[in-house]
Structure formats: C-alpha cells, structure tokens
C-alpha cells in the first residue's frame, strides 16, 4: 500500500485540490475537516455530493445539484447524553399544544421523520389556545393565549419525556388572540397578539432558566392573528402577516434573536393573511394557509430580505394550522377549513411542491401552539 505524506497538495493549475479517482479510503482515528463557510458563502457551481460545514447553522451540509441540504442525525446519535444538543434519543419530535375553540389542555406529539398519527404526550398546566411557543433541543415552552380571558402564564416540558407541563414563569404583559413565537437554541421570543387590544410588544425568555419574560422590543405594527406565522434561524426570528384591523396584512418582519431591539421590515407575503402555519430549517422559512381561507404555501430565505415566493399548496384550504419542523420537513396540523380538522400535512422544506398526508392528530382543533426540537433556530 502506497503512502504519501505532505503538508498540502493541489491540482496542476493550482486552483484547488486534486481530483481523486476510484475508491479512496481515509484511515486513522483522528478526524476529517471539510471546507467551512457561512450560508451566504455557499457555492452553486459545485458537483452534486459536495460537502461543507455551515458555520451559521453549525451543521454539515451537501449539494444535491439544486440546493444545499443538511445532514440529519439519527435518533441514536441525537440520544447521546454527552452531546449538549442531544434530544435524548427521541429524534425530532413535534408538539401540538392546547387549541380551541373548545379550549383544551391536551398535548399531542409526532416523530417528524416518520409518517403516522399523533400520540398523547400529556397536558398543559392550564387549558389555552392562540398562544405562542419556543423551544431548544431539549425543552418546549408555550406562553400566553386565552381561555375566557387573556393568559400571561408560561409552561414548559421536556421533549424526551412524555408527561404534563410545569410552570415556567409569567409574561410581562398577557398576550393572547394569536401570539407569535420564535427561538434560537437558548432564547425564546413571543410577539404581538391581543392584550386584549392588538399589541406590538415583543418579550423574551432564556429557555434553560425558568423565570418571567423580559421586554425585547416592538413590532412595527400592532396585530393579533399572527398565530404560528413565525419561524426563524439561529440568528433571526421572522413574523409574517397578521390582523392589525380592519383587514389582514402581508408584512414580513424580522428580529435579530441575539440583540434586543425593534423588528425591521423583511418583505411581503404573496397574499395578505393571518393565522398562517409556519416552520423553518436554518435557511428557509415557510408559511402555509391562513385567513382568508387559503391553501397557499409561501417560502423565504431567512438570511436575506425580500418578498416571499410560491412554494406549493396544502391539501386543503385551511387556517390556524400549527407547524413543526426538522431540518428537512415541516408538518402542519389541525386548523379550520372552515370546520375543524385533525389532519397533518407535510412538505420537504429544501424543495418546492404541494403538501402530502402525514397522519392525524388525536383531536380536531385549531389555534394550537406548536414547536419541535429540530426547528430552524437550532
């Protein structure tokens, strides 16, 4: 067996590395360092199968000839308790919490990588609907919403363990009637909603530490009906649409999750609406359905600014759908069409196209809050 030991090696034109033909084996007990760069530095002139490490998302990704896709770890790898980003062996779970209009405290869960019906997870500490949510890789948090009145409590649970949620703290101001929620791996934010008047307030929490929410900044407009029209990356939180009155809007706004301050303009949806379902991976956000009753799915590239583009269609025109996501898939559960539905649709987020059937929730509901341990903010 031949062996060459050099500090570096290039091709004959000195424009890059050499082309290795045939079967190539890298041996040893150390590691292999792939090329690294930000999302903005992604090349598009590379052959399918090219691999790089994205320093924005902290994920290994590959080029399929059309888009860059993230490698998704297996459940066993995610369950490594020595990994600070571990999901405890559950894989990527999505939670659908509460809902109405017969206000519920029920929590359903799905494994996003596996088609099938939702299962019972436990109960919230208080029945509620139209609240907001945030999540880390281990902890789910839901805040605000309403019963017969506006709710200011915050609940939390652990993705790896089914069971009832516990008290986390309180919002600085009660938020209901369509609260938006977005999060990084450490910080959760809750946006807008009704107090009961329409609100432009943004509040935040540190997900790992129970306590009361703190003021973050303001949206550029006061609106409710933003329920689940929010998503994000590790850097940005996105809020889309809403109902400032008397009609729905098409505004998309963003915040920088690591820096307190007011929201800034991002662009516009393809259709003015409220109560859209949403989800994201680290690079792309999607918004599905909404009022007025529609089946439209839009998408944006989170790191840039600009107007949303057409992604495809839901199976059924519907509103108040709850979205959960992994790096490769977004699921939209429940909603109104206009009657209540219990179906779950899913899309492959790196591509475009129409939604397909995933399974069913345990009940028909709308206005649920939802989150996952594999969303774009992680």
Beta-carbon contacts of 327 under 8 Å, excluding residues fewer than 6 positions away, are 59, 69, 70, 72, 281, 282, 349, 374, 376
pLDDT tens, residue by residue, 288-298 = 999 989 999 99
CB atoms within 10 A of CB 301: 14
**How far, in Å, CA of 31 to CA of 33, rounded?**
7
Alpha helices for the chain (secondary structure H)? 75-78
Predicted pLDDT of residue 80: 37
pTM of the model: 0.78
Rounded to an integer, what distance in angstroms lies between the CA atom of residue 295 and that of residue 215? 35
- What does the angle CA 46 – CA 281 – CA 146 come to, to the nearest 5 degrees? 165
Residue 271 to residues 28, 242, 248, 370, Cα–Cα distance (Å): 55, 11, 9, 23
- Please report the domains of the chain, with CATH numbers, ordered by start residue: 16-71 (no CATH), 93-372 (2.120.10.80)
Spatial separation of the C-alpha atoms in residues 5 and 373, rounded to whole Å: 43
Report DSSP letters for 63-87, one per residue: E-SSSEEE----HHHHT-TTSTT--
pLDDT digits (tens, 9 = 90+) for 322-346: 999 999 999 999 999 989 999 999 9
Residue 145 has pLDDT above 50, yes or no: yes
Tell me phi and psi for residue 331, to 5 degrees: -115, 135
Q: What is the pLDDT of residue 75?
A: 39
User: Would you state the pLDDT for residue 248?
Assistant: 87
Q: Which segment, 59-63, 149-153, 284-288, is predicted with the most confidence on average? A: 284-288
* Confidence band for 20, pLDDT divided at 50, 70 and 90: low
Q: How many helices (H) and strands (E) does the chain have?
A: 1, 28
Q: Residues 301-326: pLDDT tens digits?
A: 999 999 999 999 999 999 999 999 99
Q: Residue 122 — pLDDT band, cuts 50, 70, 90?
A: very high
Highest mean pLDDT of the ranges 21-35, 129-143, 173-187: 129-143
Tokens for 159, please give them. 């993705």
DSSP 19-77: PPPS-----SSS-----EE-GGG--SSSPTT-EEEETTTTEEEEE-SSSEEE----HHH
Per-chain mean pLDDT for the chain: 86
The whole-number pLDDT of residue 58 equals 66
Closest CA to 241 of 306, 283, 175, 180: 180
Question: Distance of alpha carbon 76 from its chain centroid, rounded?
Answer: 22
């Amino acid at each position: 067996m031949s062996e060459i030991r050099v500090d570096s090696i290039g091709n004959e034109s000195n424009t890059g590395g050499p082309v290795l033909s045939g079967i190539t084996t890298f041996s040893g007990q150390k590691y292999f360092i792939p090329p690294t760069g930000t999302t903005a530095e992604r090349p598009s002139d590379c052959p399918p199968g090219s691999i790089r490490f994205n320093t924005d998302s902290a994920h290994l990704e590959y080029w399929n000839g059309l888009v860059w896709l993230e490698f998704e770890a297996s459940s066993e790898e995610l369950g490594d308790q020595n990994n600070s980003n571990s999901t405890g062996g559950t894989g990527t779970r999505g939670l659908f919490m509460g809902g109405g209009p017969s206000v519920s405290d029920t929590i359903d869960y799905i494994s996003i990588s596996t088609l099938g019906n939702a299962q019972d997870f436990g109960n919230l500490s208080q029945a509620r609907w139209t609240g907001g949510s945030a999540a880390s890789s281990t902890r789910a948090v839901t805040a605000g919403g309403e019963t017969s009145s506006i709710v200011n409590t915050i609940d939390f649970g652990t993705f790896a363990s089914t069971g009832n949620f516990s008290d986390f703290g309180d919002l600085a101001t009660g938020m209901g009637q369509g609260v938006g929620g977005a999060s990084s791996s450490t910080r959760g934010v809750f946006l807008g909603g009704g107090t009961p008047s329409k609100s432009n307030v943004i509040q935040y929490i540190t997900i790992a530490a129970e306590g009361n929410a703190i003021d973050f900044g303001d949206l550029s407009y006061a609106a409710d009906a933003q329920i689940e029209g929010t998503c994000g990356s590790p850097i940005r939180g996105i809020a889309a649409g809403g109902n400032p009155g008397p009609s729905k809007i098409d505004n998309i706004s963003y915040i920088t999750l690591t820096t307190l301050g007011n929201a800034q303009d991002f662009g516009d949806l393809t259709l003015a609406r409220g109560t859209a379902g949403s989800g994201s991976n680290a690079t792309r956000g999607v918004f599905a359905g909404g009022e007025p009753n529609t089946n439209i799915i839009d998408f944006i590239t989170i790191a840039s600014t600009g107007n949303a583009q057409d992604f495809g269609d839901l199976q059924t025109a519907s509103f108040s759908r709850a979205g959960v996501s992994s790096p490769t898939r977004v699921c939209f559960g429940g909603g109104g069409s206009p009657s209540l539905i219990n179906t779950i649709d899913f899309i492959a987020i790196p591509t475009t196209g129409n939604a397909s059937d995933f399974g069913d929730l345990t009940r028909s509901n709308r206005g649920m809050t939802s989150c996952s341990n594999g969303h774009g903010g992680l």
